[in-house]
Amino acid sequence: MSSSAIRLCALTRALVSVNQPLKWDVFSEKGQLLLHKGYLISTEAQLQNLLERGMYANADDVDKLKQESRPADYDPFLEWDSLKILSSKNNLTFIRGKPADIMAGLDQKVTSINNLLQKNQTIALFELMQMDMTNYVAAHNLQTAILVSVLARKMNWDQASIDTLCRAGATMNIAMLELQSTLTAQKEPITVSQREEIRSHGTRGREMLEQVGVTNEDWLRAVEHHHPAYLPKGTVPGEMASIIHHADVYLAKISPRSFRQGKPANIAAKEMLQEKGMSQALASIIIKEVGIYPPGSYVKLANGEIAVVTQRGEQVHTPAVFSLLNPNGMPLGEPVPRDTASAAFAISSIVPRNKVMVTLNRQKLFGKKKTSGYG
């Protein structure tokens, strides 16, 4: 084969390795075949000698392999779905797992949450609001870990502190995972023993973390003190514990349960600002970051259509939305963007999620390409 038959490109050290089969036929600069594809270069000296003489391959083949090995476009929805599965596994691991597995699972969770928030915080909040609360325990802990990370980022914390807070948020209720599952389905009043288990879960959570090897005092104290009402008189919870407490309360307000609907985000926000013992500063940061019409929430427009919020707008009352249902409650053929700054499409109310029976195409709403393998 001659150089006139193919377009050649020079191979660099980054494209050829010792003890790794060659990915292409290798030619001289003049197009003479030197080595066949699959040949094994056995020593560093041999490779260096070949590189100095000049190693060339079919440029089209090299470009093709580079294209095939290029990482797939980041898919936040795929990351989110994996994170939900991981979060459920983490809860089971804490109940009956090994310390090494527990720590590895938490590291994975923190990494995924960081990825979601760094690459697209709006989508992270959208998925947080859309989360299936059937498994309330796993969902609530994951929501809290994400929300406290959002708040810490807004407060310009360093990454190490954000990660610590995220871990604390994810493990705040480890001492009452089984009880939470019971209470979610329980119709009878809480018993005396259950109430005591709730009151002590912060202290017991700290003890469980210490037993699996956690030594970070900020993490341990945040878990121990995240319910100020249960602390001994005179105990002052630290900043991490306070952030977790506020995120916990807010999410509990907006989350639907088997026995009640979740409160609309605007009502929850108003209660947070008015509630005794709540920090107006922290409540304000939650409201500012999440919004009174959070991404992922459903709203009714002035024309009667039901829409989903996808991101905040220039004004707090004018988020970006896509209409999903017509005024008669029938699905539209495709999601239709509406300008909520216009009187015809102004938001008239928030609609509870369980009142909107529609399947969302998340990629279409956010204009994302579907990653291979995503269902």
Kindly give, in sequence order, each residue whose CB lies less than 8 Å from that of residue 349, ignoring residues fewer than 6 positions away. 264, 299, 300
Does 354 have pLDDT greater than 90? no
**What angle do the packed helices 201-211 and 192-199 form, to 10 degrees?**
60
Residue 267 located in a structural domain: yes
Residue 357 located in a structural domain: yes
- What number of other Cβ atoms are within 10 A of residue 294's Cβ? 25
Residue 3 located in a structural domain: no
Instruction: List pLDDT tens digits, range 27-36.
Output: 988 888 999 9
Give the CA radius of gyration of the chain. Answer: 27
Does 6 have pLDDT greater than 50? yes
Nearest to 22 by CA among 43, 10, 32, 37: 37
In order, the DSSP letters of 284-345 are: HHHHHHH-SS-TT-EEEETTS-EEEEEE--SSTT--EEEEEE-TTSPEEEEEEEEETTSGGG
Question: Do 174 and 242 share a domain, yes or no?
Answer: yes
Angle at 276 between CA 207 and CA 245, to 5 degrees: 30
CA-CA distance, 243 to 367, in Å (whole number)?
33
Residue 307 located in a structural domain: yes
Residue 101 located in a structural domain: yes
CB 90 within 8 A of CB 105: yes
Q: Which is more confidently placed, 96 or 351?
A: 351
CA-CA distance, 112 to 106, in Å (whole number)?
10
Angle at 103 between CA 224 and CA 216, to 5 degrees: 40
Does 68 have pLDDT greater than 70? no
CB 309 within 8 A of CB 295: yes
Instruction: List pLDDT tens digits, range 272-321.
Output: 999 988 999 999 999 999 989 999 999 999 999 999 999 988 888 999 99
Residue ending a domain, choose from 46, 69, 92: 69
Q: Which is more confidently placed, 236 or 259?
A: 236
Residue ending a domain, choose from 290, 322, 345: 290
Residue ending a domain, choose from 290, 319, 335: 290
Domain span at residue 332? 298-366
Question: Do 158 and 234 share a domain, yes or no?
Answer: yes
pLDDT > 90: percent of the chain: 47
How confident is the model over 210-236, as a mean pLDDT? 93
Question: Do 59 and 126 share a domain, yes or no?
Answer: no
Nearest to 307 by CA among 282, 286, 334, 267: 334
Question: Do 239 and 111 share a domain, yes or no?
Answer: yes
Question: Do 328 and 206 share a domain, yes or no?
Answer: no
Q: What is the pLDDT of residue 179?
A: 82
Question: Do 264 and 307 share a domain, yes or no?
Answer: no
Q: Which is more confidently placed, 17 or 160?
A: 160
Instruction: List pLDDT tens digits, range 168-179.
Output: 999 999 888 888
Question: Do 180 and 251 share a domain, yes or no?
Answer: yes
Report how far Cα 94 is from the mean position of its chain's Cα atoms: 20
- What number of other Cβ atoms are within 10 A of residue 173's Cβ? 24
CA-CA distance, 332 to 326, in Å (whole number)?
6
Does 371 have pLDDT greater than 50? no
Residue 152 located in a structural domain: yes
Question: Do 157 and 221 share a domain, yes or no?
Answer: yes
CATH number (domain holding residue 86): 1.10.3210.10
Does 204 have pLDDT greater than 50? yes
Does 163 have pLDDT greater than 90? yes
Residue 198 located in a structural domain: yes
What's the structural domain count of the chain?
Answer: 3
How confident is the model over 236-253, as a mean pLDDT? 94
Question: Do 222 and 279 share a domain, yes or no?
Answer: yes
- Token digits for 176? 């009452």
Nearest to 300 by CA among 263, 340, 358: 340
Residue 373 located in a structural domain: no
Region of poorest pLDDT, from 128-137, 148-157, 188-197 = 128-137
Instruction: List pLDDT tens digits, range 115-125.
Output: 999 999 999 99
Question: Do 276 and 334 share a domain, yes or no?
Answer: no
Question: Do 320 and 360 share a domain, yes or no?
Answer: yes
Q: Kind of pairing, strands 56-58 and 33-35?
A: unpaired
Kindly give, in sequence order, each residue whose CB lies less than 8 Å from that of residue 36, ignoring residues fewer than 6 positions away. 22, 25, 26
Question: Do 121 and 251 share a domain, yes or no?
Answer: yes
How confident is the model over 87-114, as a mean pLDDT? 79
CB 332 within 8 A of CB 323: yes
